[in-house]
Amino acid sequence: MDYNDDLENYFSDDDNCMKEIRAARGYWNTKATRPGWEQMMKTLGIMLCHCSADVRPLVESTIFEAQTRGEYMQEQFRKFEYEALKKEFGDE
């Protein structure tokens, strides 16, 4: 079985899509990291390709909200990375 077939089978189940949407929305309420955020966006994109027509509007709205929140999150990631570099290399 192909890896893409596994993804298609997983995301063709509405319950799995809803579980992943809940996980994505829950991720916004945690201390997110840039790699985690990027992975979440990839998962939502793959889900959009394979989900049923009934779930597609929920996936689309989650992606839209993630992109909107992403602008704020990107700024937070930059601040966090800047502070980490300042700690590591000093305030030069």
Question: Of 73, 80, 35, which is closest to residue 43 (Cα–Cα)?
Answer: 35
What is the tens place of the pLDDT at every residue in 24-80? 888 877 777 778 888 889 999 999 999 999 999 999 999 998 888 877 777 777 887
Question: Can you tell me which residue has the tokens 């996980």?
Answer: 23
What pLDDT score was predicted for residue 47? Answer: 94
Query: Does the structure show a pLDDT above 80 at 92?
Result: no
Q: Which two tokens stand for residue 58?
A: 């929920």
22, containing H or E segment = helix 14-27
Q: Could you give the CA distance from residue 37 to residue 65 in angstroms, rounded to a whole number?
A: 13
The whole-number pLDDT of residue 33 equals 78
- Averaged over 1-16, what is the pLDDT? 83
Total domains present in the chain: 1
**Residue-range definition of the domain harbouring residue 7:** 3-89
pLDDT of residue 10 exceeding 90: yes
Mean pLDDT of the 6-15 span: 92
Residue 91 DSSP class: -
pLDDT of residue 90: 74
The answer to whether 63 touches 17, Cβ cutoff 8 Å, is no
